[in-house]
Chains A and B, each alone.
Chain A
Amino acid sequence: MSDELQRQGRTLQPSGIFQPAVIEDIQTKAETGLYRIRGFGTLRQRRWATFDDLTFLPCSLTRIPLEGYREKCSTATVLGKRHASKPIRLDIPVMITGMSWGALSYNAKVALARGASAVGSSNTTGDGGMLQAERENSKTLIYEVLPSRYGINVHDMRRADAIELTIGQGAKPGTGGLLLGSKVSDTIARQRDLPVGVDQRSPARHPDFLGPDDMIIKIEELREATDYQVPIFVKMGASRVFDDVKLAAKAGADVIVVDGMEGGTGASPAILQEHTGIPTLAAVCEARAALEDCGLYGEVQLIIAGGIRDGVDAAKAMALGADAVYIGTAALIALNCNKALYVDDYQKLGTEPGFCHHCHTGRCPVGVTTQDPELMQRLDIDQAAERIASFLRVMTLEVQMLARACGKSDVHDLEPEDMAALSLEASAICGIPLSGTRKIFGI
């Protein structure tokens, strides 16, 4: 349209406030009477500081690099050493985050489990409980205990390798999950004890504890239920991270997961995805500061999640203090999310490959976020698992490559001093000198 107008020599001036997208949004709300719901995560252009605002400072004369393609650089990752008699031992520091069977198809869940296991990583259940095939295909499986307790099952809990007590998620901290009726199939309804076809809205609060004082006892209950063997994770959406992390650590968490605002979701009110929480970069810095402040940095492990795209993001998160990272959306993309297959079906949803965020509809063209048997069959489990394994391998190689260049023989030895900031904001948030200045801004 604008090209045509330019050819005609006409210039139209859109409102800076009521831009075309805003006008469309208002008119849609006026017509439907409903707030906007969609999946995927924030769509905003990122104007806040991100991992892209940092760069690594590889060795030259002041530090000696490792041979980039040859020398050993350990990626072995141990989580949950604080209290558990059987901490999680992974071969790589990149893990699959909790995504429910319901939000994802059976094929997607099994492929994630199989792919993660192939490279010595872990998989996580989700809102809806444990899928038998997920357990069978996961070398290491983390069992989420969410406010809804959908599918809660003590026998499954005791078969898990870690328990993750989820307080919130980055895409929508302070709000429960959402699974629209189109995805609440017979099978999913039975698994969750819900009527078929309801728009399932999960509670935001746990049914049996509210604050951190109660959570201390809750964590002890989970330890009793699992014979003090497996680590207890506490996962939270990134909001008041400094205080929340301290409270979780003092409540006895072995591992704390902080999920930044760039985190994804299968369905959520759009405004929550766009306007709640703090960025992942800020979250990791606050989380590390919190653990240092209460003397538990190193004793309580930290996992960072929320928009992690590749080994570079992972390495930067680890340099800032994370012991490991979770990936969710990136893993789904590796499965085929947004790939240019079945293009007609993207168009039926009103979108195109590369632009789809229609997970909430249950009409995923590539069989990842659907409960439709026909669509689901488009995702071949074996091939998808191999793609996940390959992607996790590449991410790990990328982390190692950066670590070796910085002279580290273990990816967990990456540190803030290995990086420079490329923006004033990143310098202030991360406490890292702005490149070319040797100054940390904001201090």
Chain B
Amino acid sequence: MGEVNCEGRSTQEINAEIKQQIKKGATEILVRNPGARHNLGVAILERVTIRLDGSVGYYCGGLIDGPNFEIAGSAGWGLAESMMNGQVVVRGSAGNGAAAAIRGGTVVIQQDAAARLGVSMKGGTVLVAGNCGYMAGFMGQKGTIIVCGNAGEAFADSMYETVCFVGGRISELGTDAVVEQPSGSDAEFLDSTLAHHLPPDLRKSKPAGRDFKKIVSGRKLWNFDKREWKTWQEAL
């Protein structure tokens, strides 16, 4: 396993070292003492596992395509933003805009996610074991958001085809968000996804798949229509 120690080094030096080790054939890299630095592991495009043994700052795993990230601590804003493929697991919590605009892959946050989780998602899956903040799923285009705990206000606002599941309470649905009865296959999907991505002890404390609420777009904002003017007034 390769190793990179962040102490005393700039982000540019750390990322260059990570990429150098990947070039040399490393398939697993331990990044020690990340110290909540921003932009760690940005634009990694290879199938490699990168373990960070602490907390990370903004945009960790941003613009990646393929790697697995395991973050022992918490993450700042824009975790894995615009990811195309791969997996990013955070043992702690994540800041604003986690998984924003991702096109594929999986983001797992084992504690809580702040505001704007999965904003403008275009694919992929985001799983939050805890709660999420304001405006999660805003303008979600595709992909799946799973929140095992409670969801904040304006949840799933102005979505296209992203599908959301919430195990706890929803403070307030966003504009054009509607609650739909989950199907049997939805419950199976949730059970298998949670079992696959959460440690067994953590999984045990979360609701069963059949107990999640399903939230989708009401599609009233998809096209301008004067009959929906009240919805538009709220949306605009």
Contact = CB atoms under 8 A, between A and B. Distances in A.
A374 B163 CA distance: 36
A207 B100 contact: yes
Interface stretch (A39-47, A61-69, A194-202, A282-290): A194-202
Interface in A177-194: 180-181, 192-194
Contact of B101 (A152, A220, A221): A152
Interface string B88-118: 0000000011001101000000000000100
Given A152-B82, A224-B15, A224-B42, A194 B101 contact: no
B101 A224 contact: no
A195 B216 CA distance: 14
B contact patch SS? loop
Nearest to B119: A207
A136 B82 CA distance: 24
A contact patch SS? loop
Contacts of A26: none
B208 interface: no
B88 to A, nearest CB: 14
A218 interface: yes
Nearest to B223: A199
A353 interface: no
Contacts of A23: none
B97 A225 contact: no
Nearest to B58: A217
A32 interface: yes
B141 A154 contact: no
Contacts of B82: 149, 152, 154
Interface in B191-236: 221-224, 226, 229
Given A207-B119, A225-B42, A194 B141 contact: yes
Contact of B39 (A155, A157, A198, A220): A220
A282 to B, nearest CB: 28
B12 to A, nearest CB: 7
B43 A207 contact: no
A154 B229 CA distance: 38
Contacts of A33: 226, 229
B134 interface: no
Given A32-B226, A194-B160, A207 B120 contact: yes
B130 interface: no
Interface in A217-231: 217-218, 220-221, 224-226, 228
B137 to A, nearest CB: 11
A74 interface: no
Q: Sort chain B's interface into a size bin.
A: 35 or more
Interface residues of A, number: 36
Contacts of B11: 220, 224
A195 B59 CA distance: 28
B45 A217 contact: no
Interface string A131-168: 00000000000000000111011110110000000000
B166 interface: no
Given A193-B103, A193-B123, A208 B65 contact: no
Given A154-B45, A208-B59, A193 B226 contact: no
B62 interface: yes
A203 interface: yes
Which of A208, A225, A226 has the largest number of chain B CB atoms within 10 A?
A208
Nearest to B65: A154
A34 interface: yes
A209 interface: yes
A265 B161 CA distance: 27
Contact of B58 (A37, A157, A181, A221): A221
Given A199-B224, A224-B12, 16 more contacts: A33-B229, A150-B122, A154-B45, A154-B65, A155-B45, A157-B63, A192-B141, A198-B222, A199-B222, A199-B223, A207-B78, A208-B62, A217-B38, A220-B38, A221-B62, A224-B39
